[in-house]
Structures are given as structure tokens and as C-alpha cells.
Structure 1
Amino acid sequence: MGMQSAISVIVADDHSLFRMGVIQAFSASGKIKVVGEGATKDEAIALTEQCQPDVILLDISMPGSGIAAAREIRQNWPDVKIVMLTVSEEDDDVLEALEAGATGYLLKGSMAPDLISAVQTVAAGDSYLSSNIGMRLYDVIRNVSAGRKTDSLVAKLSAKEATVFALIGKGQTNRQIAEATGVQIKTVKFHVSRLLAKLGLRNRVEIALLAQQSATDRMGGGTSRLSGQI
């Protein structure tokens, strides 16, 4: 991928040294072009309006709140994908970020290849969670969905929806699902939208976690391993 087709990104974080390191990693990759950088919620929103990037990275605790910025960006520029950067693994922070519209959640201790992978993944329309955060969210979703009669909802899925549901749970991207099932990516996206509506979920991350819970329950328990890319 040359720079002409590089993914455009804004990096918004109030720690200048960290921000510089992220920008250098992206520039060195040759796959991601940083089109703006900021340190506050207001700067992140102004840059989003000005640059219309493919992806914006938001520090969850920057001045003005990264989560507040995510909510406003999601409302006004829904095509911009959001990745939250944080030192926090707290369940409430992760869930609040996902509810605000983030499709990626990455710890600041992550290595450069993980940052690049996260941006590429969300830009492609999929979701990305650091693996340890994914495992924590898995437990949270299990508890939340326990009273939803999830099994009966899953049982009502069509054959195609059930296939997509299971493949999302295995960590496959929309493109991989399309290739595996012989349909177009837009068809996969349609099935994902139907899954969200039928299961009463808010985003692809919850579909993946619920699918893994369902698979684990059918096998009689055990622990499900989450990949970063879901």
C-alpha cells in the first residue's frame, strides 16, 4: 500500500512524547498517513471537521474527555472510525468507550505493530480490542446477557445469520467472512446489522463476545480465547 492509498489518521493525546512516538510509528509503516494531531477534546473535534480522516485515535483521559469527543465525532461524522488509547483496563471505561462509538480500544503499552493493526482493522470496518481487555469484556458481557434469554434469541437466527454470528465469534473480519461464505462484503455488513437488531446488541464487539459465550456454553464451559481483531 503506497502513501496515495494510505489510511488517514488523526492522533489526539495530551502526552506529547507519546503522541510523537505514535506518529513516528505510523510514518515508518508507510501504510498510515497522519493528517493532524491534537491534545484536547476541542482540538480533536476541530481536526475531525477539517481533515475528515479515516480513523481518529483518542486518549480517553485527555482534557475535555476522549469519550465525550468520541460521542460528538460519532454523531457528526459517523464514517470516521474511532480508536481509544488508554492506560485503563477498567470495565466501565471500556464499556463507556464502546457505547460512545469506539470500534477500537488499545492500551498505551501496546507495541507499534499493534497500533498499526488496530488502525488497519477499524478502517476496514471491523473492531479491535487489546486481547486482555477482550477477555475482561467477555466476562462482563456474559453477566449482562445472562438475563436476556440469549439462547432463545440465537436459536431464532436464520442459517446465514447464524453462520456470520459464529464466524465473528472466531475473530474473522467482514472480508474473511465474505470469502468463506461466497458473498459480497456488503452482504456480510447487512447480516451484521440484522444480528445487532435481533440480539439487542450495540456493536460488533458485543456480537463477537456473545458468539464466543454461546460456543463455550454449547461445549459445556471452559475459557474462550479472544484475538485482538474482532
Structure 2
Amino acid sequence: MAGQPRLRVLIADDQALVRDGFGMILSAQPDITVVGEAADGAEAVERTRELGPDVVLMDIRMPNLDGIAATARICAETSTRVLVLTTFDLDEYVYDALRAGASGFLLKDMRREELVNAVRVVAAGEALLAPTVTRRLIADVVSRDRPARGSSAASDRLAVLTARETETLRQVARGLSNAEIAAVHVVSEHTVKTHVSNVLAKLGLRDRVQAVVLAYESGLVLPGDLGVPGETMPPARS
């Protein structure tokens, strides 16, 4: 992809063979450069500070500092996005990693094209969570410790949104993609993308994952809620 800056990736995993394998796949892409590796969480944090990668591939179980703690530090201190690597999609640690600020997660048995696409998606500012994963993972993580009516502080944050933006957030949290939201409300996908961008900006959120978590924490969406085609969007207030 001539003329475009290459995406910079750091690979953090305590297994050298895993780092080598991911590195070979990513380095073969014309738009991606592997700028470094880390064998544990502490090294991942330090290398991220030094190298400023766009994306970190982060294993969860690592010595010295685990991937969750490393993710939290990286997301708090830098603009680097983190993709969590896990063996099982229901790994309980994935929940904590998303709360720590990860932009998504990948299974270690993914196909190579899925790895490459994931890096590009997250680097572009999107979240890597399929709708079914959104419903299952995010609903579970917030339902474990959220009061039944949601956090009043989280709910108060939503007051800055217009009615249309609030409804867009609700649909995102229910697991609908931009295209699905556009189809339900008979608007363009570009319009939906604009609403999502406005929601993130107004709420000071990094990406779609954080928006979904906040929607559940505030009580805007309850665990188990699904996007329902045909629902009417409230009129947008000016």
C-alpha cells in the first residue's frame, strides 16, 4: 500500500514460537511492520513506551506482569490499541482485559487472514467484537458487579447525548453492526458511523468496546437484550 504509513505492531507472548509465527505472518504484509517483541507483561509495557506501536498483540497469561495488568497500563498511558490473545473465547480473563481497555480479542487458533484483518481493524479505531461476542461477553462482565438499575454516575454521563445518539448507543450495545442499525432505521451506514463517532467523542471513549460496556453499566441496555429489527428510533433533538 504505497504512500500510506505502515502499521506498527508489538507482539507480547511468553512463547517464542508464537511470537515468531505471528511476526512472520504480519511482516509479510505490505502495510504492517513488527517493531518489537515482549516475553512478559512488564516488558510489553516498557517496549510500548519506547516504540509507540499502533497495536499490541497481548497474551493474557504471562510471567512478571500478566496481560490484563499490562493492557490496563498501556491503555491508561498511551494511545496504543491492544488486541488480547486467548486460547478459549470464554476465558474469564478476557472479560477483565476488555474492562482494562482492550479493543478486542483473538483466539490463538485463528487463520492468518483473521490475524492480519484484526490488526488493520483495530488500528483503524474499530473494535474487534462480533455481535454475538458483544452480547455474550460484555453483558456478562457488567452483570457480575453492576447494581440492578445501573450506575447513576454512568447514567449521568449519557445526558450529553441526543436522543438519536442514545438510541444508536443502545443498538450498538445490543450487538448490531453499523449496517444493521442503518437497515433498521432506514438511514445510510455513513450516518450511523457519524452517530457512533459522536457518541465516542462526547463520552470520551476510546472505541466501540468501551461504549458497549458503558451502555450496560448505565442500565441503558440490560444483559440479555437483543437488537430488534423494526424498533422505532426516537426523534433526534436538536
Q: Deviations over 1:101-135 (max 9, x none)?
A: 11111111111111112211211112113677445
2:43 paired with 1:70: no
Letter in 1 for 2:199: H
Q: What is the alpha-carbon distance in structure 2 between the residues aligned to residue 9 and residue 163 of structure 1? A: 35
The residue aligned with 1:87 is 87
Tell me which amino acid in the other structure corresponds to 2:213.
E
Residue 135 to residue 59, structure 1, CA distance change in 2 (3 Å): same
User: Over the residues paired in the alignment, what is the CA RMSD in angstroms?
Assistant: 3.9
Structure with higher helix content? 1
Identify if the C-alpha distance between structure 1 residues 204 and 147 changes in structure 2 by more than 3 Å, giving closer, same or farther. same
Q: Cα deviation per residue 1:63-105 (whole Å; 9 max; x = unaligned)?
A: 120111111112221x110111111334531210011111111
Match of 2:197 in 1: 189
SS in 2 for 1:29: coil
Answer whether contact 1:26 1:34 (CA < 8 A) is retained: yes
1:144-183 per-position Cα deviation (integer Å, ceiling 9, x unaligned):
5792379xx7x9863330453266342239xx99962188
Specify whether residues 136 and 205 from structure 1 end up closer, same or farther in structure 2 by C-alpha distance, changes over 3 A only: same
> 3-state SS of the aligned residue for 2:28?
helix
- State percent identity of aligned pairs: 32
Q: Would the aligned equivalents of 1:107 and 1:130 in 2 still touch at CA under 8 Å? A: no
Aligned length: 209
- Tell me, in whole angstroms, the C-alpha distance in 2 between the residues paired with 1:135 and 1:202: 11
**Paired residues for 1:125-204 under 5 Å:** 125-129=125-129, 133-134=133-134, 136-137=136-137, 140=140, 143=143, 147-148=148-149, 158-162=162-166, 164-165=168-169, 168=172, 169-172=175-178, 180-181=190-191, 188-194=196-202, 203-204=210-211
AA aligned opposite 1:190: N
1:191-213 CA-to-partner distances (Å, cap 9, x unmatched) read: 2354689xxx9813436884995
